[in-house]
Structure 1
Amino acid sequence: MTEVNGYIQSDREEKIDVLNLASLEKRAEKIIPAGGFGYISGGSEDNWTLKENTEAFNHAQIVPRVLSDIDDPQTKTSIFGIDLDTPIMMSPAAAQGLAHSQGEKDTAKGMAKAGALMAQSTYSSTSISDAAKAGDGAPQFFQLYMSKDWEFNKSLLEEAKKAGVKAIVLTSDATVDGYRESDIVNDFQFPIPMANLTKFSEGDGKGKGIGEIYAAAAQKISPKDIKRIKDIVDLPVIVKGVQSPEDALLAIGAGADGIYVSNHGGRQLNGGPASFDVLADIAKAVNHKVPIIFDSGVRRGSHVFKALASGADMVALARPIIYGLALGGADGVYSVVEHLNDEFKTIMQLAGTKTIDDVKHAKLLHK
């Protein structure tokens, strides 16, 4: 264990046994201090949307296919010309040092080992360049929480491009912080500095509450900001937090190179729809103009399958991977992704789908 400002971090570096992803939460709760665990695990208000995110996958059913003459399903895929071993990716989750002393560096190592895509957050415990180095050349995206200060935004974007990230994820659904009761109950203050905030006037991130950090973030985000980002760095821009076909088309019309369907894992607008319930309509509106990334509530290989069959090109998750990080560092992260991938391949075989393209054309029944 490592202690930073009185906060105890896991140092574990080992493969972990995974029965299922849901079981990891209680195991991680025994390791991560209460404030950090509440921040990672909690949603907004009474967690209704957080719970619905996973329940919503039961609204669709996979049609089994037999006599399909296939074996050994292949999970290889690509996005923006990046070849990957799996469509499973890491969502850009903040402050992973709350789970492990190596934070995003170990997450990057684990995702690279799995041949999977990593996305890192502005509010990372690790600098952009250090997380990129830890991935040792494996593909990464950088997620921008836009600041009111465009010099700060420019600095992060330029550092991200220099570090070799492949795309910018613009988070658009967090102009204010969702009402997160677990953080209030725990009187949670970030005990570990956020590396990207130490360089600018936002301060070091240590001892701040999430509300204070969001206060420095831009509350006004408009379509023109997509172009403004692209003028700074010549990289694809993916708009994250899209929950309606109208916003997807608005983003694409403003120059977005990708759409990220997400409700922030139920951490923002409680009472909003489950992310899966809006995916198919958004995908229909986008009509393959740009790639679609999906997250929120993914816990099973069947969830990955259903998301891809509903129009997603990549399927992301965060909490279970962070729990794996706490339980086993980089190897723990790898263990979680490999387990989910194994579940996914089993579903692919039973649904008669050999490739990711086959999955995207698979039939779902809807309740």
Structure 2
Amino acid sequence: MTYYYEGFPQSERDEYIKMVNVDQLEEEVKKIMPEGAYYYIASGSENEWTWRNNTTAFNHYQIVPRALTDMDDPQTDTEFLGMKLKTPIMISPIACHGIAHKDAEVATQKGAAAAGALFSSSTYANKSVEEIAAAAPEAPRLFQLYLSKDWKFNEMVFDAIKKAGYKGILLTVDALVSGYREANIRTKFTYPVPLDFFTRYSGAKGQGQSVAQMYAASAQKIGPEDVRRIKEMSGLPVIVKGVCCAEDAYKAIGAGADGIYVTNHGGREIDGSPATIDLLPEIAAAVNHRVPIIFDSGVRRGSHVFKALALGADIVGIGRPYLYGLALGGPKGVESVLNQLNEELVIDMQLTGCKTIEDVKHAKIAHIPYTADNLPSNTSPAVVKPYPKTDENQIKTVGDSDAVSGASKH
């Protein structure tokens, strides 16, 4: 059930997960995942105020039930950029799925395809885009780009993703440097498994690098002209990822963006920024259906998906929950997480008389704001619980590897 890469334990599971909700997986996964890897996924930046409120703020909006709708059997099928999907729930891009499972992004893609969900992979993926595409050749997928300062690297990436059948690029513009992630500092986290694009370009594995070191290789200066250049060089639609205000939505569309991605990077960048769900209505009004909108950050319930769709999103991404599912169940675990959220979404659709996802986009939402919390960081020594130790989650010292991170000292 556990494979060791230079001492770093990776799950080999492939099993469906029984759950009441996706939140329970966050505690269960600690039993099989090293502490540093877990907190790389689970934590946010600084005091994690934004990280917490991304989820809490969904309570600012309430779904208004509807009666006498004469409707049953809701359908979650939808379409995005010409791609036919069984669900509006998307696999948002996260780096280094190998910290959760031996088969990394290949396993995630299999799970997404089984659930009929849109998949996206990161520039910092462990597996190659060719391996990911081969895992589910007919499945729809997008590629998340950390724009490099080296345009030869960018060109290599564009050629590879086009040949692998990716349907668009998610240009990340909200992570020009890494947020101050205290949990990563406390656990001395570095990427424990090689990252494919860095290996194939220069032989530099990316393994052993911190998050801040990896971001330093990316462009810290991105403007409208970069959107145009990427579209021209790649020949693919470009969706600007990291838009948090109407002004930037106008700017992105003016630069030729084919879509807007509303996200604050899951609360991993600027702590103290608003929850994304509170920003979505203003951005949706500015976009005014000129291009589609992807939304993520804080989604943990089918009702969250429903609210985001009703407030202007076309597709709703999830992040941390599917990585927990990946560790606990591999491809089938990812599928289980998607199915759980989809099942909750269907219940909300039935209770509001929404037959289709298009109906959800016109559902009635009430808005009653309130003040959110200002608690200390979830990883603060003052509140954190002792991390469980099991046979499966311990790093083994192999050769010259680092027993703390599992990464090669080289």
Give the Cα separation in 2 of the matches to 1:265 and 1:202. Answer: 30
- What residue is the counterpart of 2:344 in the other structure? 343
Question: If the length of structure 2 is used for normalisation, what is the TM-score?
Answer: 0.89
List per-residue Cα deviations over 1:200-250 (Å, max 9, x = no partner): 248211111111111101000111111111111111100000000000110
2:289 matches 1:288: yes
Alignment partner of 1:219 is 2:207: no
The answer to which of 279-288 and 230-239 deviates more is 230-239
Work out whether residues 43 and 267 of structure 1, in 8 Å CA contact, stay in contact via their aligned partners in 2.
yes
Do structure 1's residue 184 and structure 2's residue 170 form an aligned pair? no
Say which SS state the counterpart of residue 217 (structure 1) adopts: coil
In the TM superposition, 1:319-338 aligns within 5 A as 319-338=320-339
Aligned counterparts of 1:194 and 1:200: Cα–Cα separation in 2: 11
1-side partners of 2:6 and 2:267: how far apart?
29
The answer as to 2:186 corresponding to 1:199 is no
1:244 lines up with 2:245 in the alignment: yes
Q: CA offsets, 1:1-57, max 9 Å, x none?
A: 111121101111101102101111001121111111111111111111000000010
Q: For residue 169 of structure 2, what is the amino acid of its counterpart? A: I
Q: CA deviation at 1:134?
A: 1.1
- What does the per-residue CA deviation read over 1:293-333, in whole Å, with 9 as the maximum and x for residues that have no partner? 00000000000000000000000011000100000000000
Deviations, residues 238-282 of structure 1 (Å, cap 9, x unaligned): 000000000011000000000000000000011000010000100
Match of 2:374 in 1: none
Structure 1 match to 2:32: 31
CA distance in 2, matches of 1:125, 1:7: 14
Find the aligned partners of 1:365 and 1:64 in 2 and give their Cα distance. Answer: 10
Q: How far apart are residue 119 of structure 1 and its match?
A: 0.4
One-letter identity of the residue aligned with 1:69: D
Q: Aligned residue for 1:18?
A: 19
- Alignment match, 1:116: 117
Q: For the residues of structure 2 that align with 1:334 and 1:18, how far apart are their CA atoms?
A: 12
Deviation at 1:135, TM superposition (A): 2.1
Name the SS for the 1:307 alignment partner.
helix
C-alpha distance in 2 between matches for 1:277 and 1:29: 31
CA contact (8 A) 1:158 1:232 kept: no
Kindly provide the amino acid, as one letter, of the partner of residue 96 in structure 1: H
Letter matched to residue 172 of structure 1? V
In the alignment, structure 2 segments of 5+ residues that lack a partner are 369-410
1:122-148 deviations in Å (ceiling 9; x for gaps): 001111111111122200000100111
The alignment partner of 1:175 has SS state of coil
For residues 252-263 of structure 1, what are the structure 2 equivalents within 5 Å?
A: 252-263=253-264
- The normalised TM-score by structure 1 is 0.99
| CA RMSD between the two structures | 0.8
User: Aligned partner of 2:33: which letter?
Assistant: I
Equivalent residues of 1:24, 1:323 under 8 A apart = yes
Moved more, 77-86 or 192-201: 192-201
SS at match of 1:196: helix
* Separation of aligned partners in 1, 2:135 and 2:268: 28
- Which blocks of at least 5 consecutive residues in structure 1 are unaligned? none
Identity of aligned residues (%): 56
Q: How many pairs are equivalent?
A: 367
Contact 1:202 1:216 in 2 (8 A): no
Q: Offset at 1:196?
A: 1.3
- Listed as ranges, the matches of 1:84-95 within 5 Å are 84-95=85-96
The 5-angstrom pairing of residues 123-162 of structure 1 reads 123-162=124-163
Distance 1:97 1:256, change over 3 A: same
Corresponding position: 1:361 with 2:362: yes
- Aligned residue type for 1:167: G
